[in-house]
Amino acid sequence: MKQELKSTKFGKYGGQFVPEVLMPALEELTEQYEKYKDDPVFNKELEHYLRDFAGRPSPLYHAKRLSREYGIKIYLKREDLVHGGAHKLNNTLGQALLTRYMGKKRIIAETGAGQHGTACAMAGAAFGIKTEIYMGAKDTVRQRMNVYRMELMGAKVIPVKSGSQTLKDAINEAMRAWVSSVETTHYMIGSVVGPHPYPVMVRDFQSVIGKEVREQIMEKEGIFPDSIVACTGGGSNAMGIFYPFIEDDVDLFAVEAGGSGMKVTDKEALHSATLCAGEEGVLHGMHTKVLQNKYGQILESSSIAAGLDYAGVGPELAYLADIGRIKPRNSMDSEALGAFHDLCRFEGIIPALESSHALAYVKKAAATGELGDVVVINISGRGDKDLETVLGMGK
């Protein structure tokens, strides 16, 4: 089930659907990544940054009070404690280091809520590489504080005014900007999406999460968990924690954003549950599942969690869902909000609204027995960024 770098596909999914101008850059990136991914010097340097800059390993915490409340033994993988407050930095440190090894002088990236953009800005500053972030104009307003954070760390934030002015348009614009500067610039994608080799590379950089869990859970339980639950937008925190367990007897649940309901119109979806309700298509360089209308026009997605609000999903997740290795599920806005408050009150941890979707699913499913007796939930980020949203929703 493990995928070799040589193939650009996961079953029928994946591939490289990009303008010809970018193909040589993808070939170069594939070659360079292959060259360095097992290189001891590269990995030693990356380990150093992950430990001393990002603060890894992140703890695996037995949440006793929440366990009692939900009726299942719960461990939380604390990616919320990683520098910057989310798992995103695992990927950007890896890609920034690769950028340096490739001799490229500039990083561009897209961001939705600003979490990946912030992680790029951090890595860019730490490595002294010029960083420019494309962000939907609507998101720059909704996420003002993250714009300011990025700017404080020296990144330039470019508001994108085309289309729906959100994440998918920011990706379009970052790809366009890459087309014009491909010889000197690395495009740092923020999830396991986009053309090959991004889905493989980002998964590998995020796999540090699952590798740590393997050791930590053996230490604490002496046995693997029955299930692992992660929220899924593009799918990087999910693939990161799933992948090291892919050949083990552990059930893997990818929880998507059910938004305000599993409905679609001709132009928009009230949710972002691509694995649950999407259809095969091609978007942002990959063949995957997408939210689209009957003609193939991409729908605007929706979620209370900006980081899950995306009409596509990583191609490897689409593949793993088709073959039944992962189980796609979803939680609605209101359910995520409820679980958000639970974790705050029972454990003194304020989770990201994204991660709250994973919690909410455990709350729903614990009683059915589907999750077994011991579950690991990936708390992909902390919720400080979401306080305004939560305040706006009441309780």
Partner 1 sequence: MKIADKFNDLKKKKEGALIAYICAGDPTPEATKEYVTALVRGGVDVIELGLPFSDPVADGPTIQAGIERALNGGMTPDIYFKTVGSLRLHIPLVVMTYYNLIFKRGLEKFVKDCVASGISGIIVPDLPVEEVGELAGFCNQYDIDLIFLVAPTTTESRMKRILAEGRGFIYLVARLGVTGARSDIANSTRELIKRVKTTTPKAVGFGISNGRQAAEIIGAGADGVIVGSAFVDIIAGGKDAAGKLEALARELKEGVRDARG
Ligand X SMILES: Cc1ncc(COP(=O)(O)O)c(C=O)c1O
Q: Does 6 bind partner 1 (CB under 8 A)?
A: no
Tell me the site size for ligand X, rule CB under 6 A: 21
Q: Does 175 bind partner 1 (CB under 8 A)?
A: yes
Pick one of ligand X, partner 1, none as the site partner of residue 307 (Cβ within 5 to 8 A by kind).
ligand X
> Is 35 in the active site?
no
Candidate list 11, 17, 127, 325; residue touching partner 1; CB under 8 A: 17
**Cβ count near 144 (within 10 Å):** 12
The least CB distance from residue 353 to ligand X, in Å, is 8
> Is 110 in the active site?
yes
Name the one range near partner 1 by CB under 8 A: 12-20, 34-42, 56-64, 320-328: 12-20
Name the one range near partner 1 by CB under 8 A: 104-112, 216-224, 290-298, 331-339: 290-298
Q: Does 168 bind ligand X (CB under 6 A)?
A: no
Q: Does 285 bind ligand X (CB under 6 A)?
A: no
Name the one range near ligand X by CB under 6 A: 42-50, 258-266, 333-341, 349-357: 349-357
The footprint of partner 1 on residues 228-247 (CB under 8 A) is: none
Kindly report the three-state secondary structure assignment for every residue of the chain.
CCCCCCCCEECCEEEEECCHHHHHHHHHHHHHHHHHHCCHHHHHHHHHHHHHHCCCCCCEEECHHHHHHHCCEEEEEEHHHCCCCECHHHHHHHHHHHHHHHCCCEEEEEECCCHHHHHHHHHHHHHCCEEEEEEEHHHHHHCHHHHHHHHHCCCEEEEECCCCCCHHHHHHHHHHHHHHHCCCEEECCCCCCCCCCHHHHHHHHHCHHHHHHHHHHHHHHCCCCCEEEEECCCCHHHHHHHHHHCCCCCEEEEEEEEECCCCECCCEECCCCHHHHCEEEEECEEEEEECECCCCCECECCCCCHHHCCCCCCHHHHHHHHCCCEEEEEEEHHHHHHHHHHHHHHHCCCECHHHHHHHHHHHHHHHHCCCCCEEEEEECEECHHHHHHHHHHCC
**Cβ count near 43 (within 10 Å):** 15
Place of tokens 């599942």: 289
Pick one of partner 1, ligand X, none as the site partner of residue 92 (Cβ within 5 to 8 A by kind).
none
> Is 88 in the active site?
yes
Select from 210, 189, 209, 211 the least CA-distant residue to 200. 189
Give whichever of 4 and 20 is closer to partner 1, judged by the CB atom. 20
Name the one range near ligand X by CB under 6 A: 14-22, 158-166, 231-239, 277-285: 231-239
The least CB distance from residue 210 to ligand X, in Å, is 13
Catalytic residue among 73, 77, 88, 364: 88
Q: Does 294 bind partner 1 (CB under 8 A)?
A: yes
Site string for partner 1, 250-289 (x = CB under 8 A): -----------------------------xxxxxxx----
Longest dimension (CA), the chain: 56
Candidate list 3, 166, 292, 389; residue touching partner 1; CB under 8 A: 292
The footprint of partner 1 on residues 133-172 (CB under 8 A) is: 162-163, 168-169, 172
The footprint of ligand X on residues 299-338 (CB under 6 A) is: 307-308
Give whichever of 226 and 309 is closer to partner 1, judged by the CB atom. 309
The least CB distance from residue 234 to ligand X, in Å, is 4
**Is residue 183 packed enough to be buried (19+ CB in 10 Å), middle (13-18) or exposed (0-12)?**
exposed
The footprint of partner 1 on residues 295-354 (CB under 8 A) is: 295-298
The least CB distance from residue 280 to partner 1, in Å, is 8
Task: Supply 64's token pair.
Answer: 């006793």
Give whichever of 104 and 272 is closer to ligand X, judged by the CB atom. 272
Please give the residue ranges that form the binding site for partner 1 (CB under 8 A): 8, 15-25, 27, 162-163, 168-169, 172, 175-176, 179-183, 279-285, 290, 292, 294-298
Residues noted as catalytic: 88, 110, 380
